[in-house]
Every structure is written in structure tokens, then in C-alpha cells.
Copies of this chain bind each other. A is one copy, B any other.
Amino acid sequence: MADTGLLAALVDALRCMPGIGRKSAQRIAYHLLQRDRDRARHLSAVLQSAMDRIGHCRRCRTFSETELCALCGSNRRDQSLLCIVESPADVQAVEEAGYRGLYFVLLGRLSPLDGIGPEELGLEQLDAMLGEPGRQEVIVATNPTVEGEATAHYIGEMVRRRGLRVTRIAHGVPMGGELEYVDSGTIARALAGRREI
């Protein structure tokens, strides 16, 4: 038999998670039923309330349970720096690198074919944030894809109109990477971005 009824429904529902195929979903379902029903019930409850209660910060648009996220609400962040990223996961990544300024989360990238324009990315909201007192530099950290680059270019124009300094994060050979295994596009960027030593 194939799994039937609720078990099949559970395996199927688990596949909403990225990276979880049929086989992994099956393994997870069996594991939870056999050994971890309490933690599975806990996951169910947390999942429900997270989906219901986590919204977006009204200022920077990252995920937040409160109207203003912990970062925007903190007085220990460098208010002169604003880093623009595509997604809340990117905020986490940049935080781990030691950045201590503010963020603005686009929740996407410019993609006219998919109907994603300046409005969907909250660029009006961003413009308001650019106008706040004390702002000095905007770091554009969108992904180095065609759409991410186009978005960076568009935002660069916006920021310059405000008279602020605007920078783009560097792209090149990743730390610990070996030239031999790095794609030619990345090496071309690394060459173009070379610096005196």
C-alpha cells in the first residue's frame, strides 16, 4: 500500500518545506509519530502562532512580532548606516558578519515581468527612511543576480538624489575559496574590484 489517509496527508503537507522531498517527508512523519509526538504537537502550535503573529516591521519591513522590530527599536545601532537587503534571511546573514547599523528589507527585487516594481519593494517607505536625520551612508546588499543588480542601480539613483553616500558590497572570490573552482564571472568581478596592497 501507499500511505493512506492522515499519514499520506502528513507526508504531503511536510513537503511545503524547501529541500524536503517525498522520501525525507516520509522519514520525518514516521519519526515524529514513532518517537516525538510531543515535540511534533509543539511544532504544530508554534507554526500556527508564528504564521498568525509574525508580521513585518513598519519601518524596515523585516519580520517582527511587534510594530517596530528589535533592531529599529534599539538605541544601540549606528543610525548613520542603512543596509538594504532583499530578505529577512539576509538581515540575519549580515548581522552575523558584525554589521551594527540599520536595515531596510525589500522583500524581493525589481522584476517587471513578475509585476514587482518600486511599490512592491516599499521604495516609498525606504525614501522616508533615507530622509531621517543623521543618515550618512546606504549600503546596497542585494544579491549579485541580474535582478539584484538592477535593483541596486535603481536604489543607487534614489539615494544619490537624497545627497547621501551610497555603496555596494564587494563581490569577488569568497574567503577560503580556490580560484580554480570559482566561476569566471566572479573572477572578472574580483579583477575589476582589485585594490592596492
A: which residues have CB within 8 A of B? 1-7, 9-10, 13-14, 16-20, 24, 26-34, 36-37, 39-54, 63, 65, 70-71, 87-89, 92, 95, 107
Residues of B within 8 A of A52 (CB): 41
- In the assembled complex, 20 residue pairs joining A and B whose CB atoms fall closer than 8 Å, in A order, are A1-B71, A1-B95, A4-B70, A6-B65, A7-B65, A9-B46, A13-B46, A14-B43, A16-B32, A17-B31, A18-B28, A19-B28, A20-B28, A26-B89, A32-B47, A40-B50, A40-B51, A44-B44, A44-B47, A47-B47
A1:B47 contact, CB within 8 angstroms: no
Nearest CB in chain B: distance from A144 CB, A: 19
Q: How far is the CA of A16 from the CA of B28 in the complex (A)?
A: 9
User: In the assembly, how many copies of this chain are there?
Assistant: 2
* Most chain B CB neighbours (cut-off 10 Å) among A7, A17, A53, A65: A17
Identify A19's interface contact among B3, B16, B27, B32, CB under 8 A: B27
Residue of B whose beta carbon sits closest to that of A40: B51
A13 and B43 contact, CB distance less than 8 A: yes
Q: Do B10 and A17 touch across chains, with their CB atoms under 8 A apart?
A: no
Of B4, B29, B63, which contacts A50 at CB under 8 A?
Answer: B29
